[in-house]
Amino acid sequence: MSSKEILQILKDETKNQAFEEIIKNYIEYLSIGIANFARICSSDVVVIGGSFVHFKDVLWDRLLKELDRIMIPMEKEKVTIKLAMLSNDAGVIGATKMV
């Protein structure tokens, strides 16, 4: 399944219940990971990049809502969650700068 097909399914009004459950679990586990990372590293900012950026139109609000649900109030005030400005190219650009 291509990313364009997945994005179309995500945007489709007649949602597939099984697919919706997969997305719900994905967002739940991702938000747990982000919250734990922010807690352990005492981060002020967490930047999310990679393929997630391609699906931000559909997944971003869900992720923020789930983070709001699971993070303690003190963490929510301290930590800012952002999307990577370089999208999926951040790793390649960083590797190039190291050379």
pLDDT, average across residues 20-32: 91
Domain borders along the chain are 15-98
pLDDT digit string, tens, across residues 33-88: 999 998 898 888 888 887 788 788 888 999 999 999 999 888 888 899 988 877 66
Q: CA 81 to CA 59: how far, in whole Å? A: 14
Angle at the Cα of 63 (from 24 to 82), degrees rounded to 5?
Answer: 155
Distance of CA 88 to the CA centre of its chain: 13
For domain 15-98, the CATH superfamily is ATPase, nucleotide binding domain (3.30.420.40)
